Structure 1
Amino acid sequence: IIISRHPKLAAKLCGKGLAVIFEVHEILKDKHPGRKDLSQMEKQIAQDAKGLIFISEGLRRRWEELYKTPPCVVVPSGTFCNNDLPQKDRSLPVRKIYYAGTTYYKWKGIETLFSALEMLPDLELVMIGETDREIIPEPVRQRVKLLGHMTNESVRTELQKARIAILPNSAQSITSRLYTSPLKLLEYMSSGASVVASDLPSIREIVSEKECVFFTPDSPEDLAKAIMILVNDPGLETTLSIAAWEKAKEYAWDARAEKILTFAASLGVL
């Protein structure tokens, strides 16, 4: 059995007598509409793969609109789970908010986050991951702390310090709206942080108002308002962080592996 998320590799191996399960993270026909070779590659995978794993329901629905669909299952991204709820010192006011992940893609919503920070003069933004300081607007540059690239273990250690973490995805990209299953969201949850997230279908596949505060995507004003809801209400901050940490257990990497193995067994390839 071969499980791959690399479409070119999966396409080459499909139809050669090998049991290939392809994990779908994007729709190339949508991402590169002018590339007939890529849509043909997806069509071949749809025809010859033993099964498909989708990281979101939005991806599955779109794939089924475009292609024949072999047996499939939706298995979102995963996270490392702490056995004990990380303890946060909430005796003092929140002074820092956190963002973890890449900033290279516009749909990540970094511009919205920076604009919101301009409206929050008492807060510092801590950013985990490679970020070019030149993209940070001058008015907030002194209040943005860049930690750069870190190991997975170091990221988890740093996020355990976070009381509020931000997921500012844009609604202007179909990947962001429907296809993604954000690792950063699950890492925030497992770290015991309170999450402020864009109100998008892809995000609501994982969390609801019971686990986070939503804001209108691409609206700095609404993001700033959502952040201040948590800053001004430590009780709500605590409630949401506990609920999110509990829910993160459902997305542990071990649990994800079990779902994939169960699916493979249902195909008769184990």
Structure 2
Amino acid sequence: MSTSGIIYASFDRFPAPKGAAVHIRAFVEALGGAFGGVELLAIGGDPGEPPEGVRFHPLPAQGKDLIQQAMCFRGGLAAWWQGRARASVVHVRSIFEGYPIARRKEQLTERLVFEVNGLPSIELKYHSPGVAEDDELLRKLVAQEDECLAKADLVLTPSGVTARYLESRGVAPCRIRVIPNGVDTGLFAYQAPRPWDERPVRLLYSGTMTSWQGVHHAIEACRLLRRDVPVLLTLVGPTRRQQRRELMELCGELVGEGAVEILDALPQAELAKLHHACDVVLVPLPPNDRNLVQGCCPLKLLEAMASGTPVVASDLPVVRALAEQREHAFLVRPGSPKAIAEAVRALREDPALGPRMSQQARARVERDFTWARAQESLVSAYEEAFGMVRSSTRWSTSASAAA
């Protein structure tokens, strides 16, 4: 049977302002530019053109809950695949699209790449709390994860913490590549921090509005700070109706008093401008199994470091991999709104600290955490693992320069 090129499948919405969509665009752009012939299959999102060398096939994901949506997506994926040639490489980002492919790997593809940004056996309970009590479902999730990990020829992850967890799950280190997330440093252009004056202190939290990301700690820190200074906390991210209602209840009187504003997810260009309009970005990751055991590579932290806005973040291994204490960010005790509030006060009382961290953080991002660097690492991983050869001289030249 003849083979086709690279299929990149993801049970994520694309295009979209979420970090997952940003990550997907960067990776398929690199694969399309280096090797050509990439077929991207994802949940249809906002209007937008795919990168050069990539053909986008939007698939449905309808249903009242995550499981139904995943089964709908799998059905669309199977229908699209009918009658197609065996792929040279299939690249997946989760078990929701990856498991049916892993089960039929020999028929569908020569090589399988499993990109592990998160695992539902750990993360799903934070989205659907009832799952924590469903032992049968959790066993199925772990079994499907194990199948994908066992069949993958190459396992990618953005975090060293995640890599160590995958090793504990039986993945040989030689099959794992750590490729940290990146930032578009042109989009998130550097701007020196705003000088502190008598206006309200403006804090920014962006991302998922859930307890496992620490939004409740950001809100409580705002409440504590208001005892001393006027504060405005801006919360930016996608929310469903019930989730938004719960968030409003959590904020309570802060919304009515003008201390908290809640915005929908913003395009990256608008989010970058918002960074520059704020005094401090909060990355209050709690000490839970998602952050300590599984691991992550918080894109919001890298974007704040690139933009020049001082950062207050939880002192966790996944954060220390990106930023050092009081050199690139102000790291605080995880799970402590009081520690967050004290760090903001310290930045306000020492006007030189924020600008110094800001400059050093930007330099760190430019050196280690650009999307160009991540893209080059991805292409190199394909070359080393599969012996693939770049078809684009233009990509080789530009990627080498960026690295």
TM-score for both structures, normalised by structure 1 = 0.90
Which deviates more from structure 2 when the two are superposed, residues 238-247 or residues 112-121?
A: 112-121
Distance 1:88 1:66, change over 3 A: closer
Corresponding residue for 1:74?
178
Q: How far off its partner does 1:27 sit?
A: 3.3
Corresponding residue for 1:140?
254
TM-score for both structures, normalised by structure 2 = 0.62
Q: Which runs of 5 or more residues in structure 2 are unaligned?
A: 1-88, 125-131, 389-403
Distance 1:194 1:7, change over 3 A: same
Q: How far off its partner does 1:169 sit?
A: 1.1
Q: Which runs of 5 or more residues in structure 1 are unaligned?
A: none
Q: How far off its partner does 1:38 sit?
A: 2.0
Mapped to 2, the partners of 1:2 and 1:247 lie a distance apart of 33
Corresponding residue for 2:142?
39
Q: Report the 3-state secondary structure (helix = DSSP H, G, I; strand = E; otherwise coil) of the residue aligned with 2:177.
A: strand
Corresponding residue for 2:56?
none
Mapped to 1, the partners of 2:322 and 2:271 lie a distance apart of 21
Q: Which amino acid aligns with 2:374?
A: R
Aligned match for 2:292, one of 153, 177, 199:
177
1:62 and 2:178 matched: no
Distance 1:30 1:164, change over 3 A: closer
Q: Which amino acid aligns with 1:243?
A: Q
Contact 2:193–2:354 under 8 Å retained in 1: no
Corresponding residue for 2:237?
129
Q: Which amino acid aligns with 1:24?
A: V
Corresponding residue for 2:96?
8
1:242 and 2:242 matched: no
Q: How far off its partner does 1:97 sit?
A: 1.3
Corresponding residue for 2:195?
90
Structure of greater relative contact order (alpha carbons < 8 Å, 6+ residues apart) = 1
1:194 and 2:293 matched: no
Q: How far off its partner does 1:31 sit?
A: 4.6
Contact 1:10–1:20 under 8 Å retained in 2: no
Which deviates more from structure 2 when the two are superposed, residues 158-167 or residues 68-77?
A: 68-77
Contact 1:19–1:269 under 8 Å retained in 2: no
**RMSD of aligned residue pairs (Cα, Å):** 2.1
1:252 and 2:366 matched: no
Mapped to 2, the partners of 1:59 and 1:208 lie a distance apart of 19
Corresponding residue for 1:51?
154
Q: Report the 3-state secondary structure (helix = DSSP H, G, I; strand = E; otherwise coil) of the residue aligned with 1:11.
A: helix
Mapped to 2, the partners of 1:25 and 1:150 lie a distance apart of 22
Mapped to 1, the partners of 2:333 and 2:193 lie a distance apart of 27
User: CA deviation digits over 1:37-72, x for unaligned, max 9?
Assistant: 222222222222110001211111111111233611
User: CA deviation digits over 1:3-25, x for unaligned, max 9?
Assistant: 22122323333332432211111
